[in-house]
Structure 1
């Protein structure tokens, strides 16, 4: 996809109705020939809209005014470019657990979780968070994850997790202020509720840090999965990760995960992990497909804010 088109797509499908600041800014970048020319010199993975926005916020640049953004990014381009070339989008949104919970709670308990593309591992604690689906509460405590559920009877209880581990090319540490600052920079400007959620989820993880290994989702997954307790149901899962994986490696990962015992939960955009015969999504916004062992179950929003069940 041309770089300008990727910014328009991000503005219309992801930011519209969710972040007016980023919608306005990305539409402006899509018309900014000078900035697009700089981005054209970068590897494809370094041109992602959310990555440029997050890096700018991390470095203290302005994102509330397109003109100020243009001037600041170009005048600080050497610093911005260095970050774009070395960082990846690692949004670690604990709210996604609200989309995963109905599937996790329905599997044979207890569970041993392995998250691929785990970032700081905040989605490895579905048993520690509280949830609200409309008027239905599941569990108590902080953070409280709110999710609009359509066509779904929310679970009565949280899953029992006896072992949790994550795999990432560059795992983050929730006890490291610099790593938490990067997670914060990836949260969109207006989303103060997500910042509070990040702090609460990081506090949960910091009291009982997960096993996070630096490694590849194909080469290193079988060895990590083999460490899971034999008397627990193994669940390998990922949310909004595979779009960063080249197509051949993506196919190799699917073959690898299908060969493991237990279950596989995917929550990815349909363009990234396609399925035959999907119903229409609820609207024109970006929706992910929640699937269990290759069978699609529901449409979800990227931050876990809604689940529309169709299975």
Structure 2
């Protein structure tokens, strides 16, 4: 498989700086923007394991991981995650560039042997209304199978507390009242939409995570990599990751190493066949080729032919939902528009999929817009 070209990498870095990070991460927008004009820095991403794995977040996570091991370096002044208080200024890029190039082999090695594995806990607040809707349709407790689970923190979805801030009904609360992790999400309504019914509790029977490389949070290096994948000027994300990781250690889910397509049926078979199965994916299918995404959706359909199954997806529109809901230009981010995710729910009946786009979302779980 051919590596991504330097031109493609530079284009991605510029897109990330201007459309993905511009409104949420001044630090990463600044760094990615400069990297897009620097062949030596951008070129480090040619070491990514696959063209699909190429991302600004992979480069920046690798740099942050190296910086974690040098906590007294001047560059840490710009990283709130490492105690820094400086905002982006004229001195940042020259300092960043010299730091990275002096450690280029270490950065390149991390890029070659990792993928972005952000275990963003706040996405549970996006998934919760869809998973509870699937459970309501099932009429009984469900089994959860998360594909691309990383460390499995989203499998704690039934143990977290949620507060949805709405204009129409104030704050809606769900989840256990004394939960170890509390998540907040702004819930807005698209024209013509009505507030979803959000049950107080979600009842699960079994929870399993499937990942090509599951993360063991008891391993210091693996834990540090997940920390490095969190954007450094978003400390709330880091705090929630730590809280969820601590809670998970008390009741870890089963995590299985395997392929999302080839091993899906075997892993699903660990959940009793009479238990309604909810398959979760969250910001993982962008790492797949188009052919592999198609194969994944086909594998879900095969499973649905032999057991009750729902697919809850939080991906970009082209992350698989487009295969079941074609020609939905309203679910694509337009030129210059802030990137957003799409929360989808798919249910198979009689071999036919019924797919619904439930909401447009921020990628890290801060807000969602419920659709009509």
TM-score (norm 2): 0.79
- Aligned residue number for residue 263 of structure 1: 310
Q: How many residues get paired?
A: 311
Counterparts in 2 of 1:76-91, with a 5 A limit?
76-91=103-118
8 Å contact 1:147–1:307 — kept in the other structure? Answer: yes
8 Å contact 2:47–2:112 — kept in the other structure? Answer: no
- Aligned residue number for residue 168 of structure 1: 211
Counterparts in 2 of 1:3-82, with a 5 A limit?
3-40=9-46, 42=48, 43-45=50-52, 47-60=54-67, 62=75, 64=78, 65-82=92-109
- Aligned residue number for residue 256 of structure 2: 213
Q: 1:169 to 1:180 in 2, by over 3 A?
A: same
Using the TM superposition, give the Cα deviation of residue 253 of structure 1 relative to its aligned residue in structure 2, in angstroms: 0.6
- Aligned residue number for residue 126 of structure 1: 157
Unaligned runs of 5+ in 2: 1-6, 69-74, 79-91, 166-170, 190-194, 347-354
Q: Distance in 1 between matches of 2:254 and 2:316?
A: 27
Using the TM superposition, give the Cα deviation of residue 235 of structure 1 relative to its aligned residue in structure 2, in angstroms: 0.5
- Aligned residue number for residue 144 of structure 2: 113
Q: 1:265 to 1:156 in 2, by over 3 A?
A: closer
Using the TM superposition, give the Cα deviation of residue 136 of structure 1 relative to its aligned residue in structure 2, in angstroms: 1.6
8 Å contact 1:269–1:289 — kept in the other structure? Answer: yes
Using the TM superposition, give the Cα deviation of residue 165 of structure 1 relative to its aligned residue in structure 2, in angstroms: 0.4
Query: Per the alignment, in what secondary structure is the counterpart of residue 119 of structure 1?
Result: coil
Following TM superposition, where does structure 1 have runs of at least 4 consecutive aligned residues deviating by more than 3 angstroms?
Answer: 37-43, 61-64, 280-283
Q: 1:170 to 1:56 in 2, by over 3 A?
A: same
Q: 1:154 to 1:60 in 2, by over 3 A?
A: farther
Q: Structure 1 residue 137 and structure 2 residue 164: aligned?
A: no
Q: Distance in 2 between matches of 1:154 and 1:29?
A: 45
The alignment yields a C-alpha RMSD, in angstroms, of: 1.9
8 Å contact 1:174–1:205 — kept in the other structure? Answer: no
8 Å contact 2:340–2:362 — kept in the other structure? Answer: yes
TM-score (norm 1): 0.94
